[in-house]
Amino acid sequence: MTDTLTTRSITTDSKNRSREAKEAERQYRRARGWSPWKSVLKHIGLILVGFIMLYPVIWLVVSSLRPTEEIFRNPGIVLDSFEVSNYSEGWNTLSEPFHVFLLNSVLIVLGCIVGNLVSCSMAAYAFARLKFSGKRWWFAAMLMTLMLPIHVIIVPQYIMFSQLGFVNTYLPLILPKILATDAFFVFLMVQFIRGIPKELDEAARIDGCGHARIFGVIILPLMVPALATTAIFTFIWTWNDFFSQLLYLTKPEMYTVPLALRAFMDAQSSTSWGPMFAMSVVSLLPIFLVFLFGQRFLLKGIATTGGK
Amino acid sequence: MSALGELRKLSAGKRPQTAAEKAFIKKDNRRDNKAAYLFLLPWLIGLAVITVGPMVASLALSFTKYNLLQAPKFIGLDNFIRMMGDERLHNSLGVTFVYVFVSVPLQLAAALALAALLDRGLRGLAIYRSVYYLPSLLGSSVAIAVLWKQVFGGEGLVNQFIAIFGIEGRSWIADPSTALSTLITLNVWTFGAPMVIFLAGLRQIPVMYHEAAQMDGATKWQRFTKITLPLLTPIIFFNLVLQIIHAFQAFTQAFIVSGGTGGPADSTLFYTLYLYNRGFSNFDMGYASAMAWFLLLIIGVFTAINFWASKYWVNYDD
């Protein structure tokens, strides 16, 4: 059954289930001993679970707009004052204003996205479409790296990058993506390309197209959904990444958002929770926006790769 | 198909080919080999320079004493012998095991229960799914760890709530007996990702199985345990393997909540956190490498056990 759990079947599944089909399903359920009371109870339960889960995050946002001393007194989420002073204060607490860290994070994220899109799609094309010697072994190697803990490679990698003088540059963070080390995305794209009808590239081949053109003109435009999924996941994972940024970035002006938040917490006194909450909200906002607009691709991607 | 399914298939061996097929493939190969390796070039360089090279180097370093400044000095198995007597390391293994084997089953149980409740055709399904999924995107961020530190702190949100009922709380984060549970809670909170995978799996179960069982008078619970669960076992297995591997590597949350120390009293000193402290605070690179390979061994053993045990409970219909 794992075999049927492909990206494609999930898309078609959600697309085909039109409004009428849903309505029919509801009527069917009603005919089979469905009771409104049970249903209401179930919804209340589900809403309660969701509310409890999101409560800390909602409270974080509300508290960031309150004076700091209220954070330790008011567990409610009804906002009666509206103070933006936490934001202006938090923005300027560290040695650099917060937009420096935001820009640094954006720069790394963009580099990683471009790197992943180019290199992973190329590797995926080879694995999904080309026949070559040792393919089984290379593919197995790729799948194995999916499960490799980063710690086994991080020490020599750090030594290598530090001897190359790359510490306190963004190269150690971006270079691995340009070299397609995120096997998750290679695998995701392989799955996607396998779903594209082979007749298309065979026709192009007969017309005299080489692999570069088949890849660039036929496959790439058709795999935009997979590319979008990759871009969105790369955004979120790189934005949240802490471990490798902690290793490679030690100068405050090079700090990314997670490192800035950590520095904030180390430097804080008990009175600066308000500004720290405010900057936490700022740091979560891009993820929330990406989630809001890219949810479709996220849900598809997670079903194939297993997410993080 | 999942990555695990692929691996299973690859290990099952090659399909026998006819002579004609072989000849055809051989002819085809000549045309594709060069192109394929060009397309794979970035990935191959990455595999060599970023993954396999450092892996081998890390194995070599594990037999040395190395502090980044002086050249590595070969010390044989000393690092591994030291590990056997390292109390903090044993403690960190214990902390990590508790974290993995408590939080992963709880997380998967929550994911499965909610996926099962989100029936086909349920009103507002997409909204519920989004709400439950959102925490798994936020969960690994430093910001949420900061929030957790406040929520479970002495004057935190949790204590403010229980104070309403007249119960006096304590700092859950500062108490060694509860600090780890706050991190376990955080991992369970991110059940949305496996839940989405379960949902996709549930959609693949033909409705007619349930209809037939219903006609025979099976209750909802019976249908869940006799139809849904058995058919979902490959997905449960997939989630279990991935989440265990993932949980063994947890780092950020423990680092932030404990301020990088793994405290209080080493109660949140994850194996990875201890490794980081050995390698990058004490620059004990040889020892850290030895620890890393030991981690790989542990994860490998548990994954192998998982695959072996799967024969007895996972149903593959192929």
Residues of B in contact with A22 (CB under 8 A): 121
What per-residue confidence (pLDDT) applies to A307? 42
Rounded to a whole number of angstroms, the distance from the CA of B214 to the nearest CA of chain A is 9
CB-based contact B29 A132, cutoff 8 Å: yes
What token pair was written down for A194?
């396998």
- How many inter-chain contacts (A to B, CB under 8 Å) are there? 311
What per-residue confidence (pLDDT) applies to B303? 92
pLDDT at A3 over 60: no
Residue A296 CA to residue B46 CA, distance in Å, equals 30
Residue B198 CA to residue B196 CA, distance in Å, equals 5
- Output the pTM of the full model: 0.88
What per-residue confidence (pLDDT) applies to B189? 97
CB-based contact A308 B193, cutoff 8 Å: yes
Average pLDDT over residues A291-305: 79
What token pair was written down for B8?
């299973």
- Mutation target among B9, B21, B26, B51 for the A interface, most CBs of A within 10 A: B51
What per-residue confidence (pLDDT) applies to A74? 87
Average pLDDT over residues A87-114: 94
CB-based contact B299 A147, cutoff 8 Å: yes
What per-residue confidence (pLDDT) applies to A238? 96
- Separation in Å, CA A189 to CA A131, B1, B24, B45, B255: 17, 12, 27, 19, 33
Mean pLDDT computed over every residue of chain A: 87
- Mutation target among A151, A184, A188, A244 for the B interface, most CBs of B within 10 A: A151
Residues of B in contact with A243 (CB under 8 A): 251-252, 276
pLDDT at A72 over 50: yes
What per-residue confidence (pLDDT) applies to B305? 94
The list of chain B residues with pLDDT below 50 reads: 1
The burial of A258, by beta-carbon neighbours within 10 Å (0-12 exposed, 13-18 middle, 19 or more buried), is given as buried
The predicted-structure confidence for B19-39, as pLDDT tens digits, reads as follows 666 665 555 555 688 899 999
What per-residue confidence (pLDDT) applies to A237? 94
What per-residue confidence (pLDDT) applies to A299? 80
Q: Could you tell me if A139 lies within 8 Å of chain B, comparing CB atoms?
A: yes
Q: Which residue of A has its CA nearest to B205?
A: A1
pLDDT at A4 over 50: no
- One-character DSSP codes across chain B: --HHHHHHHHHH-PPP--HHHHHHHHHHHHHHHHHHHHHHHHHHHHIIIIIIHHHHHHHHHTTEE--SSSPPEE-TTHHHHHHHT-HHHHHHHHHHHHHHHHHHHHHHHHHHHHHHHS-TT-TTHHHHHHHHHHHHHHTTSHHHHHHHHHHTSTTSHHHHHHHHTT-----TTT-TTTHHHHHHHHHHHTTHHHHHHHHHHHHTS-HHHHHHHHHTT--HHHHIIIIIHHHHHHHHHHHHHHHHHHHHT--HHHHHHTTTS--STTTT--HHHHHHIIIIIS--HHHHHHHHHHHHHHHHHHHHHHHHHHHHH-----
Label the pairing between strands B73-74 and B64-65. Answer: antiparallel
What per-residue confidence (pLDDT) applies to B233? 92
Rounded to a whole number of angstroms, the distance from the CA of B177 to the nearest CA of chain A is 23
ipTM: 0.87
What per-residue confidence (pLDDT) applies to A1? 35
CB-based contact B39 A125, cutoff 8 Å: yes
DSSP for residue B73: E
- Mutation target among A8, A29, A153 for the B interface, most CBs of B within 10 A: A153
What per-residue confidence (pLDDT) applies to B210? 87
What per-residue confidence (pLDDT) applies to A102? 97
What per-residue confidence (pLDDT) applies to B19? 66
What per-residue confidence (pLDDT) applies to B122? 85
- Separation in Å, CA B253 to CA A70, B170, B261: 25, 20, 12
Find the CB nearest B47 among A29, A136, A141. A141
Residues of A in contact with B2 (CB under 8 A): 2, 5, 304, 306
Q: Could you tell me if A38 lies within 8 Å of chain B, comparing CB atoms?
A: no
What per-residue confidence (pLDDT) applies to A17? 54
What per-residue confidence (pLDDT) applies to A305? 56
DSSP H helical segments within B118-176, as ranges? 125-138, 142-151, 157-164
Q: Which of A177-191, A237-251, A290-304, B174-188 has the lowest mean pLDDT?
A: A290-304
Find the CB nearest B29 among A131, A181, A288. A131
The predicted-structure confidence for B301-318, as pLDDT tens digits, reads as follows 999 999 999 989 998 765
Instruction: Give the A window 180-209 contacts with B, CB below 8 Å.
Output: 180-181, 186-187, 191
CB-based contact B132 A160, cutoff 8 Å: no
Find where tokens 């799967």 sit: B310
Q: Do residues A128 and A193 lie in contact, with contact meaning Cβ atoms separated by under 8 Å? A: yes
What token pair was written down for B214?
């219903």
What per-residue confidence (pLDDT) applies to A39? 85
CA atoms within 13 A on the CB side of B149: 27
What per-residue confidence (pLDDT) applies to A88? 93
Average pLDDT over residues A116-145: 94
